[in-house]
Amino acid sequence: MMVVKRLEFGYSSCCSPILQDIAFEARPGECLAVLGNNGAGKSTMLKCLNRILSPQKGTVYVGKQDMLQMPLNRVAQSMSFVAQGSQNSRLTVYDMVMLGRKPYIKWGIRREDEELVASLLRQMGLENMAVRFLDELSGGEQQKVMLARALAQQPRVLLLDEPTSNLDLRNQYEVLELVKQVSREHEIAVVIVIHDLNLALRYCDKFLLLKDNQVYDYGGEEIITAQSIGEVYQIAVKIHTIDEAKVVIPQFQSCS
Amino acid sequence: MEIAKAVVGKANDGKVNTVVQNMRLPRVLTAIVGGVGLGISGCVLQAILHNPLASSSTLGISQGASFGAAFAIIVLGAGAQGSTVAAMQFSNPLLISLCAFVCSMGVSLIILALSRFRKITPEAMVLAGVALSAMFQGATTLLQFFANEVQLASVVFWTFGDLGRTGWREVRLMAVVVLAAALYFILSRWSYNALESGEQTAVSLGVNVNRVRVVNMVICSLTAAVIVSYLGIINFIGLVAPHMVRKVVGNNHTYLLPGSALMGAILLLLGDLAARTVISPVILPIGAITSFLGAPLFLYLLFKGGDRS
């Protein structure tokens, strides 16, 4: 379980902070969606959790260890991160997934590293493209490889920064379905920064709404209401229930 | 067969023994060790700065060395004796190497200091290198302007690059530095692979990016500085060798590092072969040969790679 308390971050002391007093929890096997408009600090918050950025205040506990006080290598053994956007790396799929073993590799690759990578490739349906270069794959396949790499770190928390932003409709669902499945199987807490509210409602269990660098609301599906979404995104929405699932429909009126 | 015997000092003809042992063998080993060092450090510089243009000659390390050599020759009087360029000998080669080494390390320390105190990006580090190399080139030109003819000739001769200046002692020193550096690089191969996927991903994989950058930059500069201070300016090996290997094996540094080392050695050996045989018995300057052959090779790689990406 990950417990975040009083997290605060700013790029320099003179400017106003980008994140203020952030607090939430993420449980094993659960997906937490981080929602908010552009510039609300979603990606920044994600990067503060695993020390890509250094928060000025606060604690990020995973189990009994405060991630903000640990060596980077130990953080990488507890948390993995998939960055936004496509990869143009000239590593093979196999090498990219093996890269996830970096926090554990001391002198060379061990047999158990090879076995883990092979089983992850099988699980993700990537075994046929193991020797292909990453930049030759489609966006959906690349995202699966990055997910496999993150899982090779054997994390307790998985951080995803807009994992579906450059995927087509089918791949968006496929990737999130995989995320959901592995989080249940491996008891991983997943934190997803995501823009598509309907995808979030379908795949996530908890929601963290950020507005003006602070937590606007945090809780289950019940906090996604026309009022909360309207205030966070500054747009009127209607929320319907179709096939027992909440669906958000924006009511955008153009000026003309 | 006679030559093979001479390598271990067992040839029947004493002259063959002497030529092979004291001239040919050190020259070949110098080319191998120098090529390995330039190739592998170019590969690492490209990885840690995340820039395909990084190498000791584009970061100003080589230009720093040539300024140091010019300073030693013109100001400190470690100049040349001998009437023709081909028969030139330096009166104090150790002093020249020392000055070249100090100045090339100076350049890399300036770049590092900039990146440390101003927190500049890798791109800015490469640009700073370009600016510094222009500055040192200018400083060398200024020194040359005030030099007399003999000094001028020996500065130019030094910057040509030459594999024949080294004896066994120098080869041994170079080999120790290059081997130690290569060992460190090979052990850090997974950090370079992590950096390949971007700085943020590297941090999330437990790589302390700033520390890796500083430590590797120092080791690369040291390697390049030792080589350049003995051999003179040899361009393009550090730039081209990793790119050639990358086309074949991709970006996994487990293969890319040894490949770049091997390719560097092959390129420098071939360059030396060309330099010695094209208009034999005159030995052409190796630095000019590698640039002359390296540039078209680089362009070829560039345009051949274009259709892929």
Lowest mean pLDDT among A125-129, A150-154, B118-122, B295-299: B118-122
Please name the residues in contact with B116: beta carbons below 8 A apart, sequence gap of 6 or more: B214
- Say whether residue A77 is in contact with chain B using an 8 A CB cutoff: yes
- Token output for A124: 């993700």
What is the tens place of the pLDDT at every residue in A11-23?
A: 876 677 889 899 9
CB-CB under 8 Å, B252 with A72: no
**pLDDT number for residue A256:** 58
Phi, then psi, of B16 in degrees rounded to 5 = -60, -45
What is chain A's percent helix, strand, coil content, to nearest 5? Answer: 35, 25, 35
ipTM (interface predicted TM): 0.88
What is the tens place of the pLDDT at every residue in A200-214?
A: 999 999 999 999 889
Report the half-sphere exposure of A132 (CA within 13 A, side-chain side).
Answer: 14
More confident: A255 or B49:
B49
Tell me the pTM. 0.86
The CATH code of the domain at A2-250 is 3.40.50.300
- Say whether residue B210 is in contact with chain A using an 8 A CB cutoff: no
d(CA B293, CA B216): 29
**CA dihedral for B255, B256, B257, B258, sign (positive or negative):** positive
Mean pLDDT of chain B: 84
What mean pLDDT is predicted for residues B113-142? Answer: 84
**pLDDT number for residue B95:** 83
- Token output for B207: 């790589």
What is the tens place of the pLDDT at every residue in B102-113?
A: 888 888 888 888
Write out the E strands in chain B.
80-81, 89-90
- Say whether residue B246 is in contact with chain A using an 8 A CB cutoff: yes
More confident: A188 or B92:
A188
What is the tens place of the pLDDT at every residue in B227-283?
A: 888 888 888 888 889 998 988 888 999 999 999 999 999 999 999 988 888 887 888
**pLDDT number for residue B79:** 62
What mean pLDDT is predicted for residues B42-62? Answer: 87
Residue of B nearest to A152 (CA): B205
Q: Domain segments of chain A: what residues?
A: 2-250
Domains of chain B and any CATH numbers: 2-303 (1.10.3470.10)
- Say whether residue B207 is in contact with chain A using an 8 A CB cutoff: yes
Cβ contact A68:A59 at 8 Å: yes
Which residues of chain A from 8 to 47 reach within 8 Å of chain B, CB to CB? 47
**Pick from B187, B203, B205: CB nearest A99:** B205
**pLDDT number for residue A28:** 94
Band the pLDDT of B86: cuts 50, 70, 90: very low
d(CA A150, CA A97): 8
What is the tens place of the pLDDT at every residue in B10-38?
A: 777 777 777 777 778 888 999 999 999 99
- Token output for B248: 């074949």
CB-CB under 8 Å, B191 with A83: no
